[in-house]
Amino acid sequence: MVALVEKWPVLGRHEQAAVWLGVWADLGRTPRTLDAYARGLAEYLLMCEREQVDPVTANRSHVAMFVRELTSRPHHRGPNVVSLDSGAGLANATIQQRLVPVRLFYDYLMEEGARESNPVGRGRYTPGRRGGGGQGRGLVPRMAKLPWIPTEQQWLDILAVAALEPIRNRVMLALAYDAALRREELCSLRTDDLDPAHRTVRVRAETTKTRRGRVVPYSAPTGVLLSAYLGHRVTLSRARGPLFLSESRRNRAEPLTLWTWSKVVRRIALAAGVPRFSTHTTRHLCLTDLARMGWELHTIASFAGHRHTDSTLTYIHLSGRDLAAKLNRSMEHIHAWRVATLTASSTAAPELGR
């Protein structure tokens, strides 16, 4: 908590903000979540200070000013940004992320009796609308974009570059795809999470986004790579603990960090000429492939560790499985009709020639 205030001094200048953030810390939110909350609220408070507005009494117009600032802000990566989906400097998902702590902060002020309404608000259920009511539009429209996955050729290009990587990087990439692991789940694996006899890996609840533990399988080729890596790992450390270790001179045998793995994947992506490839792409690709192979929705959800099947439906849509099945069924009928018509036409042709 002290570190966050040091990183964002504006939080220390607003007592309610510091108390609110402390509540979330006491509730056991992860450091990454706390950092995201602190950043979003700090940026809002800085805007309030520039506009000489008391955030406790701010209204919807002031929140709208913050949204305008987010939607027009230049991206910090400048020309090196991989993709944008907001039409401006920040992606739609990032803007939504910045607004979450602001909304939660005002929820807290309402609970404490400091104000009566939340200027950020949420989409509201509006009775009487066409279709029997519905969800009102939120402060910022939410874009439901499908995840990006590489083409077959792009995946082959990634694999060609990855084949030249050290054994640790190759097995990490293979496990990330095989078990559809998120970056934190992959980097947090421990030696006792593995069950080579059954070719499964345990994903502990505390390392997951949804706090749902699961056991997932991996393929035989990945098992071979993993066995080779375990033999190599002994040269770094014989102690049980984190599975993937750093091999740099500065941090030798220390647990591999999320940021190091991100840099490895980024380097592979650029070398392969596929800059959109990231640490999360392997998860998207695996779940989409499972949908293409006909896995049931709830089975994919269990494999992925999703709390709700709404998230899993994304991969069903991305695979095009349901649409393809409907198209095939329709085309079978149309095809039969067209063939029958052509057959009838061919038998009638001699009569027409007479």
Pairing, β 200-203 against β 194-195: antiparallel
Position 241 scores a pLDDT of: 95
pLDDT given at position 321: 65
Q: Which two tokens stand for residue 346?
A: 């061919």
pLDDT value of position 345:
54
CA distances from 249 to 153, 246, 252, 256 (A): 36, 9, 5, 13
pLDDT at 211: 85
What is the model's pLDDT at position 32? 82
In this structure, the number of other CB atoms found within 10 A of the CB of residue 254 comes to 15
Q: What is the pLDDT of residue 308?
A: 87
Distance, in Å, from the CA atom of 206 to the CA atom of 197, rounded to the nearest integer, reads 24
Neighbouring CB atoms inside 10 A of 36's CB total: 16
Q: Where are the domains of the chain?
A: 2-111, 152-319
Q: What is the pLDDT of residue 59?
A: 92
Ordered mean pLDDT values, 10 residues apiece, the chain (354 residues): 83 92 88 89 94 92 89 59 49 83 93 91 50 52 77 94 96 95 96 95 91 93 95 94 94 94 96 96 93 90 91 82 63 66 57 46
The second-level CATH assignment, the architecture, of 152-319 is Orthogonal Bundle (1.10)
Check residue 176 and give its pLDDT.
96
- Residue 327: what pLDDT? 59
SS (H, E, C) the chain: CHHHHHHCHHHHHCHHHHHHHHHHHHCCCCHHHHHHHHHHHHHHHHHHHHCCCCCCCCCHHHHHHHHHHHHHCCCCCHHHCCCCCCCCCCCHHHHHHHHHHHHHHHHHHHHCCCCCCCCCCCCCECCCCCCCCCECCCCCCCCCCCCCCCCHHHHHHHHHHHCCCCHHHHHHHHHHHHCCCCHHHHHCCEHHHEECCCCEEEECHHHCCCCCCEEEECCHHHHHHHHHHHHHHCCCCCCCCECCECCCCCCCCCECCHHHHHHHHHHHHHHHCCCCCCCCHHHHHHHHHHHHCCCCHHHHHHHHCCCCHHHHHHHHHHHCHHHHHHHHHHHHHHHHHHHHHHHHHHHHHHHHHC
pLDDT of residue 320: 74
Q: Structure pTM?
A: 0.69
pLDDT score recorded for residue 128: 46
